[in-house]
Amino acid sequence: MQTLCHLITDGKHGDCENEEGSGFYFISSKDVNDGKINYENARQITFADFQNTHRRTQLEPFDILITNSGTIGRMAVVREGELTPKTTFQKSVAILKPDKKRVSTFWLFYYLRCHEERLISYAGGTAQKNLLLRDLRAFEVELPSLALQARVASMLSAYDDLIENNARRIKILEEMAKLIYREWFVEFKAPGVKLRKASHEEKKVTGKDVFPVEWEAKTLGDFLELAYGKGLKSEDRSNFGNPVYGSSGIIGYHNKPLVKGPGIIVGRKGNVGSLFWSEEDFYPIDTAFFVRTNISLHYAFYNLSGQTFLNSNAAVPGLNRESALMKTAILPDKNSMDNFDKIIAPMFEQIRLLKTRNRNLRCTRDLLLPKLVSGQIEV
């Protein structure tokens, strides 16, 4: 592959000094996934450290990033954007700068995804797998003509563009729902709400001098229950059926769900306090709680999303259920929650449909990928 790229190297061998809000990003392998860089939880570093590291990496649009330590083979094509010239990365990420006269960036990206298992097999190490730069440079690529590369990349990119467009629509709907919740139930601007002077206890809960008439200051335990999930061995999970949830989200599928959807899942061990919504029936395993309540599930979901849950001091850290249920919370009147449901439920349904479309698009793309790259399907 070395003959197809101007440069194949990795990121900084060493650390950088954090500076929250600097706007200069230090990407690690966890931030590279599903064809793109995820900046949501990426570290921000000092400008001086960025400048020093950027001299080595020189990240530009249409470079390819590959994770080469730990989880091998996650990839991203670097896109044009305001964050790209402010981004560098650690040594757990390698960069390829394709020679555009010989190889299409997107074709090479899809070729490497198609041959991910072969790429992973090059990695050595026992405690932690590492893909050495020399092995990455020596990785053999069967190269068709530039014209064929362009046609294959165009077809596969069309699927990824649709997936990305749907993902943007999902994010907009999610943000709209959060804003409505905040306006109604945090700012007390729900339709028809009347305010009165807050009691001492109500003021402690909200920090406000006023409080809605007919609403109550409660604890989470007054209106919901955190029920335990049930253990399910990894060999009993499959790739189809209803989703199986742990504290990190969907970890498989099973044909005998425990809970009727829609429902809420809360991380109990591992990713403590993580929160997931399942529109369909689901199976929560024993690293998660699921929510039982007789109030609006949509309201309960956003109320929980605003809570801060901490690890217990047990030998195996986890979410202490009793402490969690003692968290203070506002309980609005039923009419306000019913009206909230009428607005939010169609948005959640649209999100569900978009996620289903993306799942189908990914499935079709992944079926086509090896056939197009290998030339089994002519384009």
pLDDT tens, 11-65?
Answer: 999 999 999 999 999 999 999 988 999 998 899 999 999 999 999 889 999 999 9
Q: ω before 61 within 30° of 0 (cis)?
A: no
What pTM was computed for the model? 0.85
Q: What is the DSSP string of 262-316?
A: SEEEEE-BSSTT-EEEESS-BEE-TTEEEEEESS-HHHHHHHHHT----B-SSSS
- Residues 68-116: pLDDT tens digits? 988 899 999 999 999 999 999 999 999 999 999 999 999 999 999 999 9
CB atoms closer than 10 angstroms to residue 173: 18
Evaluate whether 67 touches 73 at the Cβ level (below 8 Å).
Answer: yes
Q: Is it the case that residue 318 has pLDDT exceeding 90?
A: no
Q: What is the CATH number of domain 2-143?
A: 3.90.220.20
Residue 249 confidence class, pLDDT cut points 50, 70, 90: very high
Average of per-residue pLDDT values in the chain: 93
Give every CB contact of residue 201 below 8 A, 6+ residues apart in sequence.
217
pLDDT at 317: 73
- Domain locations in the chain as residue ranges: 2-143, 216-331
Domain 216-331 has CATH 3.40.50.2020: no
